[in-house]
Structure 1
């Protein structure tokens, strides 16, 4: 019996030590996990050019893609992307499907109830786009009796929902679908971020036109789970550095055709 006890006691301590190690692993913060894995997993969508979209070779590209890759580089890790529909982005973030969300997310009080945000890394705003040559719509006041389009789950949808007199509001999973419908005459106008409007008019100058005037100004931020304060503070510093050294200005000119930081 004594021999058995002598054998069991060391075994008990070995099991306890390994159990403790496992428990410690489970309690790693997001920042610690990122450092350990050398990987930053970013939640993103894939249908909101120029912020994030697939190019002709099906590669994920855009302002947010370049921005996230640079953030990962400055954290000393590689960046991986987890693609999800925008409407499910916050839910997936809180379900720990990825570490942060970078997808042209406008900072709103409603969203702050569920997640935390970084400092704004770009100032967005909702604008109206119409087909080139459409003289019947010059502003929001001309949308009465018209068919309006927006992207589901965005602040563009929130703004569009407040416009009175619209005949029908059509909501699409991706902004690319809304512009396709505009091109084919099935909707009269599209509500979206100013950066998106600038991209479309630059790429297809003879097809679309963005009307003058911002409907609503909206800063965009990186989304975090509320407990990830350490990660938020580290990336906030990186964003400040990217603004100061001109990196964000270069990305803005590359994707929007103008410097959003002047």
Structure 2
């Protein structure tokens, strides 16, 4: 997918509204941009040793706020709360590398794609599995309401521009979906091979971060798919959405977006 296509997709999925300007006016009046992020989403956003939020999405939130000329306020609702779409003014936009699917587009506008995220399967380090096909008929853990849950259930149909048809490398025997706020599927997998789970499907970079943090896991070779990730806002304020789009495009043009991903992941994931 080219950058031009990504930008076009961001525009086509946004909705218009007679209420344009409400969110942007609130942000500029209060001089505060409130952004929903996570506390345990790997290098994307996590609590550091000082119990402060850090990560690539945190840096992005701060950069967007700075270019808006306001301060940033970070809030940490669960992913299931974010994706439900009932924000009720509690935050203005969401980071979290949300995949901009058409289904989600019924609730959200996606002003800017800022990351291209590969997905993988991880197993316990003592697992005999060496390739994706070894996961046939196994118990697979996923985060609820994610594209990985759809993939595990064999129902994932990517709907972003340039998406390639999914080729499934295995068929799960059982899929266990974990809601935000409950035990992490990686914590169940770390108990041992096949104790509660045989594998977890998740973002490759988050799985690698978990391993760096001491989880006794290994990532199986081969990508499940590579998905574009976008900032998400609610429908209703095209002025705000357009403003965010222009800011992120300026960050792409001057190299800031690329530098952020290289800083946190060692490679440029701002392009596919």
Q: Same fold (TM over 0.5)?
A: yes
Q: Give, in whole Å, the separation in 2 of the partners of 1:28 and 1:260.
A: 31
Distance 2:206 2:149 in 1: 15
* Partners of 2:44 and 2:55 within 8 A in 1: yes
For structure 1, the residue ranges without an aligned partner over 5 or more in a row are 1-25
| Residue 122 of structure 2 is aligned to residue 129 of structure 1 | yes
Q: Distance in 2 between matches of 1:211 and 1:92?
A: 34
- Establish whether residue 99 from structure 1 lines up as the match of residue 108 from structure 2: no
Matched, 1:226 2:235: yes
Q: Judging changes above 3 Å, is the alpha-carbon distance between structure 1 residues 241 and 145 closer, same or farther for their aligned structure 2 residues?
A: same
Q: Distance in 1 between matches of 2:150 and 2:98?
A: 13
Query: What does residue range 51-200 of structure 1 map to in structure 2 within 5 Å?
Result: 51-92=44-85, 94-139=87-132, 141-162=133-154, 165-174=171-180, 177-185=184-192, 186-200=196-210
In structure 2, stretches of 5+ residues that fail to align are: 1-18, 155-167
Distance 1:82 1:239 in 2: 21
Aligned-pair CA distance for 1:67: 0.8
Taking a change above 3 Å as real, the CA distance of residues 137 and 168 of structure 1, as seen in their structure-2 partners, is farther
Task: Judge conservation of contact 1:199–1:255 (CA < 8 Å) in 2.
Answer: no
Q: Which has the higher contact order (CA 8 A, sep 6+)?
A: 2
**Whose Rg is larger?**
1
Q: Aligned-pair distance for 1:165?
A: 4.0
Q: Which structure is higher in helix share?
A: 1
Corresponding residue SS for 1:120: strand
Answer with 74-83 or 169-178: which moved more: 169-178
- The answer to whether the 8 A contact 2:48-2:54 is kept is yes
Deviation larger for 190-199 or 105-114: 190-199
- Give the distance between the partners of 1:132 and 1:244, measured in 2 at CA: 41
Please say if residues 21 and 239 of structure 2, whose CA atoms lie closer than 8 Å, have aligned partners that are also in contact: no
SS at match of 1:235: helix
Partner residue in 2 for 1:244: 253
Q: Give the superposed CA RMSD.
A: 2.4
By how many angstroms is 1:33 displaced?
Answer: 1.2
Size of the aligned set, in residue pairs, is: 235
Q: Is the 8 A contact 1:52 1:60 kept in 2?
A: yes
Q: By how many angstroms is 1:93 displaced?
A: 5.1
TM (norm. structure 2) is: 0.78
TM-score (norm 1): 0.80
1:86 and 1:154 in contact (8 A); partners too? no
